[in-house]
Chain A
Amino acid sequence: MRFARPRRHSAALVAALLGAAILLAGCGGDDSDDQGDAAAATRTVEADNGTVEIPAHPQRVATLGRLTLSFLDLGGKPVGVTEVDAPVVGLLPAEQQAAYKAAKLLGSSASEADLELLATLKPDLILFSAPDSDFDQMKSQLESIAPTIYFGFSSDWKTRLSVTADATGLTDALNEQKSEYDETLAEFKKKYSEIIKTTRFGEVNRGSWQDPGMFSLNGSQCSEIARADVPLNIPDLGEGGEERSFERIGDLSEYDVLIYPVDVEGKVAEGFVPVAESNGWKALPAVTSGKALGVYCFGDISFTRSYRTYSQYLDSLGQALAKLAPAG
């Protein structure tokens, strides 16, 4: 069944919001007139779907698709969400998990979202992220419910976060995260300046979705951050790095230090176990000399890229480097 929201419902929704805003303004103090104006006012933001006119201070934000994680990470409390993979939810901080669970579940993915249910939540802003083709199909239905900000999968993460924070009134939270990241980065650079200057790093990764005999080299999103911001000497092998077969594990001998993925508890990540247990890996100079370092990188999962997750990554990387050699 195709969902089509009649325009008069939108008008009624705006009228209801206006009414509520006026009522709230009447209960306020001296600056109540300003607040009422602000609630009724609109402004524009730039997203992948162009210039979008949104409420100046949206109160009911629904997130469909991967932007759910970005919004939660900024401390947002959505009224409706689409499903986030259970293992990923389990890795979120407690308050983010609570915010996710408190929201109405709208479906398993952005393209599968129940738009009738979404409309009943009366959102005043929708954050949407899915393949372009899905957005093209759903655009008119979404926009008939509420102003919709769309970011595709290839959008720049910093722009995505900045616009999301700006649109939802969470810029302070974003700035706080960025400040913390900058501080962590500065401290990291100072503490490990010698290692950073003299060491050639190889970042080895393998996901459980990869062919049993393949691993990835220098391709995670965390390695991209380390290369760009520290800058750590992790040779750039192109976007996503290079996928190589296990018979090329010997290539890793050229690196002074190897970084491999661990989970939040420090155990070798599930997908990487076949590499870690291989004879070739165990015979590598970096491994035999204790220079293979497990580092936790939550920001490598789609749309978990944020200043907070990268601060976490730098912390983990710093702890690993601390084992390697004296700081400095």
Chain B
Amino acid sequence: MTTQTSDVEARMPAAASGPRLRAGGLLTVLVTLLVLLVLSLLVGSTVIAPSVVWDALFHPSADIDQYSIRDYRVPRTAVGLVVGMALGAAGALIQALTRNPLADTGVLGLSAGSSFAVTVAVGVLGIRDISGYMWFAFAGALIVTIMVLLLGSTRSGQSPGVMVLAGVCVGAVLGGASSALQLTNPDAFDAMRSWAAGSILGRPLDVMWPVVPFFAVALVLAFAVSGPLNAMALGDEIAAAQGVALNRTRVLAIIAITLLAGGATAIAGPIGFVGLMVPHVARWFVGPNQRWIFAYSILLAPSLLLASDIVGRIAMRPTEIPVGVVTAFIGAPVLIALVRRRKASGL
């Protein structure tokens, strides 16, 4: 494993920092995340004094403002943290696995699978509550993953290129089927309209908790495969020569991606750009070492998500903008700027 890491370190661009600086940077990102967590509790579409926020958390009473903190700001902050971590890790894994810096959950058909399953749940089965149809979103992502794994199998094992093609194809078919269902079923269309925007508002903690164990397993898997993925970045032959089990690594990575992206989409709907953009930023700071990229991504992504959510709360007071819309607004120009720094952000 030391050999894998040192090989990767050797390929790092000059902009990449040494281990001490990277650790310092990671600490800075962690502090930023903690500040944003506090801001997420303090700032909202209505002005509530910090003392009330404090009392809501530590001296609870039946005050309406305290309910606003406990019932809405605390859950959306927790959901933003968890969903952000999942999206960041999933994005980093997908880009490493496919060796494609523009890959995101859409490339493997996961978003389309989740959307189709939610459309069926709402439009055909009449399930309206998010705690009901979130499991369909999760199941949709899992089923698509299995299809992509099967379709992406070649005689020599899993091929990233064939998997991406399979994912895009399955995604296109399911996207068309979802559109057809929504166009013929106004109820499904109405329900999908808010879900498809991507939001962490109004998701109670009991929607989030059941998914957290899946995220925990997926994060362990993600870190476990980060070393082998470092080796695979040098090429399959070199990785195989270093003892990396290529197929097992790919299958484990896909399982982790599905649990992370499927779970995040199930809770918040499809939130674009976070999983795509954050690994680029991480790579810019730390170079191509997957372990550092994962570590940065799981802290940077929730920071971006929470910052976007805070902006969405105050930009159009008294109403709010869904976080998925804000990340798209922020994400597009930032991503363009980043991809123009090809040397730093490319794989």
Query: Which residues of A are interface residues toward B (Cβ below 8 A)?
Result: 85, 108, 207-214, 242-251, 253, 270, 274, 278-280, 283-284
Contacts and interface: CB of A to CB of B under 8 A. Distances in A.
Nearest to A284: B64
Contact of B318 (A85, A209, A211, A244): A244
B320 A245 contact: yes
Sorted from nearest, which 10 A-B pairs have the closest CB atoms?
A213-B202, A212-B202, A209-B190, A213-B201, A247-B68, A250-B64, A247-B72, A211-B194, A279-B67, A280-B67
A242 B45 CA distance: 13
B28 interface: no
Given A250-B65, A279-B71, A242 B318 contact: yes
A245 B313 contact: yes
Contacts of B213: none
A212 B203 contact: yes
B197 A211 contact: yes
Interface in B31-88: 44-46, 62-65, 67-69, 71-73, 76
Contact of B45 (A85, A207, A245): A245
Contacts of B46: 247-248, 250-251
Contacts of B201: 211-214, 245-246
Given A246-B72, A251-B318, A211 B202 contact: yes
B64 A208 contact: no
Interface string B175-193: 0000000001010001101
Nearest to A108: B184
Contacts of A212: 130, 194, 199, 201-203
10 contacts: A208-B128, A209-B191, A211-B199, A211-B201, A211-B322, A213-B199, A245-B72, A249-B64, A250-B46, A280-B67
Contacts of A280: 64, 67-68, 71
B319 interface: yes
Contacts of B184: 108
A108 B130 CA distance: 28
Contact of A283 (B44, B45, B64): B64
A110 to B, nearest CB: 13
Contacts of A208: 128, 190-191
A208 B73 CA distance: 22
A248 B62 CA distance: 15
A243 B319 contact: yes
B266 to A, nearest CB: 13
Given A242-B318, A247-B44, A274-B202, A283 B191 contact: no
A208 B191 CA distance: 7
Nearest to B316: A243
Given A208-B190, A213-B199, A247-B45, 16 more contacts: A207-B190, A209-B194, A211-B197, A212-B203, A213-B72, A242-B318, A242-B319, A243-B319, A244-B45, A246-B68, A247-B46, A247-B68, A248-B318, A250-B65, A253-B64, A279-B71
Contacts of A279: 62, 67, 71
A247 B44 CA distance: 8
A280 B65 CA distance: 8
B194 A247 contact: no
Contacts of B69: 247
Interface string B155-191: 0000000000000000000000000000010100011
Nearest to B319: A243
B207 to A, nearest CB: 9
Contact of A244 (B76, B128, B319): B319
Contacts of B44: 245, 247
In this complex, which of A210, A213, A274 has the most chain B Cβ atoms within 10 angstroms of its Cβ?
A213
Nearest to B130: A212
Contacts of B194: 209-212
B65 A278 contact: no
A283 B67 contact: yes
B102 to A, nearest CB: 29
Contacts of B203: 212-213
Contacts of A85: 186
Nearest to B318: A244
Interface in B69-126: 69, 71-73, 76
B47 to A, nearest CB: 10
Nearest to B312: A245
A199 to B, nearest CB: 21
B61 to A, nearest CB: 10
